[in-house]
Structure 1
Amino acid sequence: MKAKVASMVVCGAASLALGAALLSQAPATAGGQATEANWSSFGGTADEQHYSPLAQVNDKNVGQLGLAWYHDLDTFDSYTQPLAVDGVLYFAVGLSVVHAIDAKTGKLLWQYDPDVAGQPEARTRMRAGWGTRGIAYKDGMVFTATREGRLVALDAKTGKLRWQVKTLDEAENGYITGPPWVAGDVVVTGFGGADYSPTRGYVTAYDIKTGKKAWRWYVVPGDPAKGFENKAMEMAAKTWTGEWWKYGGGGTVWHAMAYDRKYDRIYIGTGNGFPWNEKIRSPGGGDNLFLGSIVALNAKTGEYVWHYQVNPENSYDFNDAMDIELADVTIGGKLTPVLMHAPKNGFFYAIDRSNGKLISAGEFSKQNWAKRIDPKTGRPELNPEALYPDGKAFIIYPFPNGAHGIQAMSFSPRTGLSYIPVMEGGRVVTDPANVKDWRYKPGMFVNTGLGAPPAGLTPPPAKSMLVAWDVARNKIAWSIPQPGVFNGGTMATGGNLVFQGLNDGSFNAFAADSGRKLWSFAAQNGILSAPISYTVGGKQYVTVITGFRSSQANTPSWDYTEQRRRVLTFVLGGRQALPKLELVDRSNQDDAAFTVDPAKAKIGAGIYNTSCVICHGIGMISGGAAPDLRKSSVPLDADAFSSVVHDGALMPRGMPSFENLSAEELEGLRHYIRQRSRETMAAK
């Protein structure tokens, strides 16, 4: 765990010469006034709008935008967003390995590896999630949260450790993939885990300078017999039934937050229950506070201020980990402090930040779980069929990936529009065969509490689009179709532009007012993370990090081993070029002497489809998050397979240890991998 100062490690030399007129320009907004040059928070500023007021690059000259430099990344995962402060780019990739790079030249300044794989807790916690999606910055310090549960503070100039603290002391099977969030004088972190095991969600705030714990706030109530931590938990307990605390309750805060400087509050987006199916965790029904909610907390004390529950009676994976963005918007002739939120469930919510009351909620994507959101009560009017009564199966929209996932949306104060990467897909929901007898499967396997879909009931293929949502008018302003299902986060700018990377390997600029494509760059990889923009020396730069991962196959297919994970930085007049892309089309591996035992393969299928599928892909067709097991030689050798899967030989490269798997289960996996490899080859 040490910082590493590097010499020049850059894959492309900068070519940044511009004309005299351009050199004389200062960073400016559309109105011509100078503005700040930094991108110091996940969403740019504390308002988290993913908006840059810079307009040096605009809809008139974006065609002159070119590559300034690129930097190759030696990592297994780069679904992450950088920060830019005073001419330095900061980001973390893979197992929270933090990089500092000269934003003008691409030179690596320092690197810090927190040695996640070397921590004892990682052997269990690395079984869930992927890498890291972002970091935080404040007062000369960079903050990252590690998968196995530490919050780490680094000196921004040197990369040396300032302090670190273990934050998952009350979450045995929790893990962290989201960024920490700065809220005044504290830095706040949550965690994930409510899809895997009994977990009680909470967020914790630490003093920025010392790392001392300032406060902790629990999302759901614990065992009533042990008393309640505060009045909010006492209130919440009245909305639960049965012995929910034995399941933990869920509600983990695994991504979105936002700090409101106006009210000195931090808003947190809470997760789904454990398990998803409310008939198991709260059999008598109830709203189950504070699941599926936006909660406002006093940033100094952690005290509850208000909440808005987006999904009462949540029996799906609908959660509120998606962006929480803040703005003052004129609605009905009145300037209103608005919290904007477009979660998985397909509705765009505008909430009054002063009191938590709903202003408006409108459909930005196909959904059928609710008939409407009551404008007076703010509660959804549920579709009874969506609760899959009496075990009746139902194709629900949106699917668990969400109408909007964690790929960032953006909001432009210039246009009044929010730009959302939207997915439209359905999923079959139904009860398990014996709801009352359901028991969770330990070992960090996905435990939804749902049953297997009936034969023949299959949702149509999912699709995607970029939607511009008019916040003041509560309606779609424009929408354009996009390739595949998963596309990158968006950034809006003062130059009437929206930047976004797509799964087809292109990085694009669209006109913010109309959606017309104005510019495109072949990035040689799919892109999921959101871009940022900043200035150095009076020039506006745009940076995005490439990398693609999914649990589903994609076209084109971004093979895990072939991906070009890079930092790409653009400037007007940039003339750098990427090296020629030469991909190797690897074939399925096999051993003719290996005889598949169907009984063993059935055991392996049960393991694969409740754990391995998350990274290695549905149907064993990789979506880029992990190697395609059909094309790997490792499963052909029992000892090598056990070394990797059971013993954790590749933990430093992101492959966790599954010490909980027996020899019989490991052998079952090997047979299932061979079975699927041969089935897919025969289908070609």
Structure 2
Amino acid sequence: MPAQAGRRRSPNPRTAHPTNGRRRSARGRRIAHPRLTRWRPMAARAHTMRIRRSPRIAWRVVMQMSSPARIVLVLLVVGIAGATLAPAGSTVAHAQSEADFVPVTDAMLQDPPASEWLMWRRTLDGWGYSPLDEIDRSNVGELRMVWSRAMTEGRQQGTPLVYDGVMYMPNPADVIQAIDAVTGDLRWEYRREVPEDIGDYVFNTLWQNNRNLAIYGSYIIDTSADDHIFALDATTGRLAWETRILDYQENPATQTSGPIVADGKAISGRSCMPAAGPNGCVITAHDPDTGEELWRRRTIPAPGEPGDESWGGVPFEERKHVGAWMVPSYDPELNLVYIGTSVTSPAPKFLIGGTDLQHLYHNSTLALDADTGEIAWYYQHMNDHWDLDHPFERLLVDTAVAPDADAVEWINPRLNPGEIRKVMTGIPGKTGVVYTLDRETGEFLWARPTITQNVISGIDGATGAVTENPELIFTAEGQEMLTCPHATGGKDWESVYTQPRGQVYPGCVDGIVI
């Protein structure tokens, strides 16, 4: 495994709430990103894909997401007499008392108080479920705005944490705010200096994305556009430590989703740019108290490692872009971290060794030992020729497994209907297919599509092996294929909601709830 990237502690933490952070420049080469694929809108969630050779970068999909110039964070509450409204435009900053702050522990993360939202989906199993019941069907129509606050410009995809009455909000471009959840007052704001040349190495504005934070001890922990992991004092916003994970000029990656803390380890994945090569495609664990790197797991095997044969004779340096760009889940009992991966670059496999190769570990679920980062098991959801990543949340549920044969297309014939199993389920990828696996072993249990799709033609219930539609697999340059869904997927990064009765509510790209 690659050696630790290095750690440096800030002896003089930067001011926590400047209004205009100075942006530092960094010298380096400019990387061209010529397109290898051309996307043509044909029908809802379908695309035509044309293959053509690029002399520099192997493959790229270009899509623009519109973003309002200013997004407003809004708090809604049920109209109750005596509710206090924050003054319009209030921006007074005041730090929380360190003496009053109760450090967040592993026990709290594994069983959070009902009133707190301590991680991206509230719990380590990825449910996104709150047991609070004050707002229900009888009064939801009475919700009204109590306060609002402008957020920073850019791509807004963040989910706030809430702890002890304070909301910690990840904003685009490495801005973090601590906000009084009752009044909307700003407690502190941290603006990290972003290198001026970051856009030369990460195409589009993906580097702005900041979907989640972690909280542990007295720290707010995040990953940065320039490929660091760092911690802020939760009461003041001052930088406590930072550690470089990658050199963004040599191995550029996008830290679009921050870490979770699993058994005292801050674990994070990232999307690696094609220019990053295989060594940029890593999942890492760091000590949340010091920033020390504990382990590093590459998602592309090197020669001699398990899975190397799945790339055929493709040289190691030409194996690219298998990122893990969403937030993992964690099972404390099994001590396993579950995380998904993305497509290779280029996506069409005839360009990288052949269409019959697996190219591990792309578009897979990885179950990692939280202590070492070793792969306990993996399951490959498909051999992806079309940029249909599978990095989305893995839902962990203990449940009776009894799929309805009339409604579920692919079922393991060895299942004992009604048997209680520890499962990992959900829609892990853009195909919109629900997969349910045994999360102890990775055994395939059942799967079914939730949208119209034509890329998967079958799944062997006994082995879980996926067969892709042979009519859509590229074999030469100049071919065009009409696929459904397209690269934004039947599902994308929008999160799924699960509740104790077992229903799963996925949020789809076009806003449909299934």
Report the TM-score, using the length of structure 1 for normalisation. Answer: 0.55
Other-structure match for 2:492: 405
Are 2:283 and 1:203 aligned? yes
Match of 1:246 among 317, 321, 326: 317
Shift of 1:260: 1.3
Contact 2:276–2:320, Cα closer than 8 Å, also in 1: no
2:230 is the alignment partner of 1:155: no
**Structure 1, unpaired ranges of 5+:** 21-33, 229-233, 424-462, 468-684
Residue of structure 1 equivalent to 2:439: 353
Instruction: Give runs of aligned pairs for residues 67-78 of structure 1, distance below 5 A.
Output: 67-78=145-156
Seen in structure 2, the aligned counterparts of structure 1 residues 115 and 246 have a Cα distance that, compared at 3 Å, is: same
Per-residue CA deviation, residues 380-407 of structure 1 (Å, 9 max, x unaligned), is 1221112134554221111111110001
* Separation of aligned partners in 1, 2:337 and 2:470: 34
Q: Is the 8 A contact 1:41 1:48 kept in 2?
A: no
Q: Tell me which of 36, 40, 46 is aligned to 2:114.
A: 36
Residue equivalent to 1:59 = 137
Q: Note the C-alpha offset of 1:189.
A: 1.9
Deviation at 1:379, TM superposition (A): 1.3
Name the SS of the counterpart of 2:253 in structure 1. Answer: coil
Instruction: Please give the secondary structure, in 1, of the residue aligned with 2:513.
Output: strand
Secondary structure of 2:311 counterpart: coil
**Paired residue secondary structure (2:495):** coil
Amino acid aligned to 1:112: Y
In the TM superposition, what whole-angstrom CA distance separates every residue of 1:76-100 from its partner, at most 9, and x where no partner exists? Answer: 3322111111111001112110100
| CA positional deviation for 1:354 | 1.1
Question: 1:93 aligned to 2:171?
Answer: yes
Selected match of 2:180 from 102, 108, 112: 102
Residue correspondence of structure 1 range 310-349 to structure 2 within 5 A: 310-311=381-382, 313-331=383-401, 332-342=417-427, 343-349=429-435
CA distance in 2, matches of 1:305, 1:279: 30
Aligned residues: 400
SS in 2 for 1:56: coil
Once the two structures are superposed, the pairs formed by residues 572-651 of structure 1 within 5 Å of their partners are: none
| Residues 177 and 254 in structure 1, CA contact (< 8 A), matched pair in contact too | yes
CA displacement 1:660-684 (0-9 Å, x = unmatched): xxxxxxxxxxxxxxxxxxxxxxxxx
Aligned to 2:513: 466
Q: Aligned in 2, Cα 1:381/1:14: closer, same or farther, shift over 3 Å?
A: closer
The 3 A distance-change label for structure 1 pair 316 and 213 is: same
Maintained 8 Å contact 1:38/1:85: yes
Pick the aligned partner of 1:193 from 272, 280, 286: 272
How far apart in 1 are the matches of 2:75 and 2:308?
59
Q: Within 5 A, what are the aligned runs for 1:517-596? A: none
Q: Which residue of 2 aligns with 1:420?
A: 506
Q: Distance in 2 between matches of 1:70 and 1:14?
A: 9
CA distance in 2, matches of 1:55, 1:148: 41
Instruction: Tell me how far apart the structure 2 counterparts of residues 71 and 101 of structure 1 sit (CA, whole Å).
Output: 9
The Cα of 1:19 is off from its aligned counterpart by: 5.7
1:176, 1:254 within 8 Å by CA — same for their partners in 2? yes
Q: Which structure 2 segments of 5+ residues have no match?
A: 1-13, 20-71, 83-111, 402-416
- Which of 371, 375, 387 is the matching residue for 2:473? 387
Q: Distance in 1 between matches of 2:275 and 2:481?
A: 23
Matched to 1:270, the amino acid is: T
- 3-state SS of paired residue (1:239): helix
| The one of 262, 268, 279 aligned to 1:183 | 262
- Following superposition, the deviation at residue 16 of structure 1 comes to 7.8
Q: Name the CA shift for 1:11/1:373 in 2 (closer, same or farther; >3 Å).
A: closer
Cα distance in structure 1, aligned partners of 2:380 and 2:122: 27
Alpha-carbon deviation of 1:125?
A: 3.5
For the 8 Å contact 1:153–1:163, the answer to whether it is kept is yes
Cα 1:256/1:341, change in 2 over 3 Å: farther
1:148-186, Cα deviation, whole Å (9 max, x unpaired) = 211111111111111101111496222211122211111
Indicate how the Cα distance of structure 1 residues 14 and 277 shifts in structure 2: closer, same or farther if over 3 A, else same. closer
Q: What is the SS of the residue equivalent to 2:133? A: coil
Aligned AA for 1:376? A
Q: Deviations over 1:512-565 (max 9, x none)?
A: xxxxxxxxxxxxxxxxxxxxxxxxxxxxxxxxxxxxxxxxxxxxxxxxxxxxxx
5 Å-filtered alignment, 1:275-314, equals 275-283=346-354, 285-311=356-382, 313-314=383-384
Please give the secondary structure, in 2, of the residue aligned with 1:68. Answer: strand
Aligned partner of residue 104 in structure 1, secondary structure = coil
Instruction: Look up the SS of the partner of 2:241 in the other structure.
Output: strand
For residues 380 and 15 of structure 1, the distance between their equivalents in structure 2, rounded to whole angstroms, comes to: 47
1:581-617 CA-to-partner distances (Å, cap 9, x unmatched) read: xxxxxxxxxxxxxxxxxxxxxxxxxxxxxxxxxxxxx
1:146 and 2:239 are equivalent in the alignment: no
Aligned to 1:613: none
Whole-Å separation in 1 of the counterparts to 2:365 and 2:389: 10
The question of whether the paired residues in 2 share the 8 Å contact of 1:408 and 1:421 is answered with yes
Distance 1:306 1:14, change over 3 A: closer
Task: State the distance in 1 between where 2:73 and 2:315 align.
Answer: 53
- Deviation digits for residues 66-119 of structure 1, max 9, x if unmatched? 22211112423322111111111001112110100011111100011111136x
Q: In structure 2, give the amino acid aligned to 1:374.
A: D
Deviation for aligned residue 1:214: 0.3
What does residue 449 of structure 2 align with?
363
Q: Is the 8 A contact 2:79 2:142 kept in 1?
A: no
* Separation in structure 1 between the aligned mates of residue 185 and residue 205 of structure 2, nearest angstrom: 33
SS in 1 for 2:367: strand
Q: Which has the higher helix share?
A: 1
* One-letter identity of the residue aligned with 1:172: N
Give the TM-score normalised by the residue count of structure 2.
Answer: 0.73
Cα distance change on mapping 1:102 and 1:283 into 2, 3 Å: same
Q: Is the 8 A contact 1:80 1:132 kept in 2?
A: yes
Corresponding residue for residue 295 of structure 2: 215
CA shift, 1:351, in A, is 1.2
Q: In terms of Rg, which structure is larger?
A: 1
On the 8 A contact 2:254/2:273 being kept in 1, the answer is: no
- SS of 1:66's equivalent in the other structure is strand
Change (3 A) 1:295 1:346: same
For residues 272 and 60 of structure 1, do their structure 2 counterparts lie closer, same or farther at Cα, with a shift above 3 Å needed? same
Q: Secondary structure at the match of 1:238?
A: helix
The 1:128–1:220 alpha-carbon spacing in structure 2 relative to 1, beyond 3 Å, is farther
Q: Could you tell me how far apart the structure 1 residues matched to 2:453 and 2:160 are?
A: 33
Is contact 1:125-1:148 (8 Å) kept? no
